[in-house]
Amino acid sequence: MAGIFYFGEKLGVALGSPRLSILVSELEQELQSYPEILDKILDFYNCDSSVDFSILSKAKYNICYNALVNIVKTIKSINDREKWWIVELWDNEMKREMQESPLYLNI
């Protein structure tokens, strides 16, 4: 079953189940000090495999953006080849989609 990281109207990245689960797990670790954000973005994850960032405030959206940046930096720094697809996904799709959202603050 496929799922989606949803950033706003016509903005999202589809993923297959195994990769979606891995990326959600990475995000849960990175955002463990923000349980209210995790609760919001993962509200429908168990129902329809969607991770919805579009319901966040601009500030919380950017916390998530920075969390994903940190995940990518960590994978690069430890050269984790098993998760290198996350770096490629970020570079080729996800970063652009997140930055096109009206919630993204370019600071």
pTM of the shown model:
0.94
What tokens does 100 get? Answer: 């096109």
Q: Is 80 helix (H, G, I), strand (E, B) or coil?
A: coil
The answer to whether residue 106 sits within a structural domain is no
- Between CA 84 and CA 87 the distance in angstroms is 5
Q: Could you tell me the residue range of the domain that residue 16 belongs to?
A: 2-100
Q: For 43-81, how does the pLDDT look when each residue is reduced to its tens digit (9 = 90+)? A: 999 899 999 999 999 999 999 999 999 999 999 999 999
The answer to whether residue 107 sits within a structural domain is no
The answer to whether residue 51 sits within a structural domain is yes
Query: How many distinct structural domains can be found in the chain?
Result: 1
**Looking at residue 107, what is its pLDDT?**
67
Contact 24, 45 (CB under 8 A): yes
The answer to whether residue 105 sits within a structural domain is no
The answer to whether residue 58 sits within a structural domain is yes
Contact 12, 54 (CB under 8 A): no
The answer to whether residue 22 sits within a structural domain is yes
- Between CA 46 and CA 60 the distance in angstroms is 21
**Does residue 14 register a pLDDT over 70?**
yes
